[in-house]
Structure 1
Amino acid sequence: MKGTSAFGWQTSLADLSLILFMLSAAALHRQPPARPQEQRIERPQPRTSVHPAASPPARPAPRSEPLAVYEATAGAPPLDVWLEQQAIDPRQQLTIIARYGPAPGSRDAALGSAVRLLGEAGVAGASARLVVEPGSGPVRVVLAYDRPA
């Protein structure tokens, strides 16, 4: 005698479809949001015999997860000592991030601190990029795999 089953192939197919939907939704959730495309209006350039060199459009500098972070606070060791403790790789980029507030002269003070740390990094044989931006907090030195290709 053949028994009837409450679950048929339709239920199995529905379960597989639901699993596929959940996997697709999870994969889409992990992707960064898409930026809207800029719409440019191209204006015709007057024809001249000398053409200026076209510069590539500015792109933001790449940033990845930091490997090591140094904060220039009162109890911190000198930057060159901290750099000696790091495993330096040629693919890594040293970034000095200085933040400034709304007070007059705070941007110049932040830039001065960043330039001082840049000099210390240069003595240690490392080159760095400087980032000066609005915000709060101490000057940070970040070591990450950010080196441009």
Structure 2
Amino acid sequence: MKGTSSFGWQTSLADLALILFMLSAASLHNRPAGQAKADLHASARSEPLAVYHAAPGAPPLDVWLEQQAADPRQQLTITARYGAAPGARDAALAEAARLLAEAGAHGRAARIVVEPGAGPARVALAYDVPER
């Protein structure tokens, strides 16, 4: 004789998932405070807050930088791209150096990325400052 039951395997699986969730939450809650802070790391590359393209007709970089809020947690990244033409990489390096000088005159340090590709140089402001 077969009895009918209102509980199936789905209900048992949901109960087990709930128990696992409660155990995980309890273990995270009870860990030492120092370990919790050690687990938080700044992203090496985060989403940019603001982007400047060094295209013809664009305002100078220092004007753009004046419009951005200063925050010591922010990192300025200059990305210059170069094509396959002879001397294109040197031209991209020169453009990156020019933008770095403009940022330095405004009191901002920056990292420089020079990579193959097309398009104007780009300056991005993001929360990318490496952990010290």
Distance 2:48 2:13 in 1: 41
Residue 114 (structure 2) aligned to one of 107, 111, 132: 132
* Percent sequence identity over aligned pairs: 65
Structure index of larger Rg: 1
The answer for unaligned runs of 5 or more in structure 1 is 1-5, 21-60
Q: Which moved more, 1:61-70 or 1:86-95?
A: 61-70
Q: Normalising to structure 2: TM-score of the pair?
A: 0.71
The answer for unaligned runs of 5 or more in structure 2 is 18-42
The structural deviation recorded for 1:16 is 2.7
Distance 2:9 2:105 in 1: 69
Q: Deviations over 1:73-130 (max 9, x none)?
A: 0121100000000012101000100011111100001111111111110111111111
Partner of 1:103: 85
The structure with more helix, counted as a fraction of residues? 2
**Equivalent runs, 1:27-66 vs 2, <5 Å:** 62-66=44-48
Task: Sort the Cα spacing of 1:103 and 1:10 in 2 relative to 1 into closer, same or farther, 3 A.
Answer: same
Distance 1:80 1:133 in 2: 24
Tell me the C-alpha RMSD between the 2 structures: 2.3
**Does residue 41 of structure 2 align to residue 79 of structure 1?**
no
Size of the aligned set, in residue pairs, is 104
The amino acid that maps onto 1:148 is P
The structural deviation recorded for 1:15 is 7.1
Q: Normalising to structure 1: TM-score of the pair?
A: 0.63
Secondary structure class of the residue paired with 1:130: strand
The structural deviation recorded for 1:11 is 5.5
Task: Sort the Cα spacing of 1:11 and 1:109 in 2 relative to 1 into closer, same or farther, 3 A.
Answer: same
Question: Could you list the runs of 4 or more consecutive aligned residues of structure 1 that deviate by over 2 angstroms after TM superposition?
Answer: 14-17
Partner of 1:119: 101
Partner of 2:11: 13
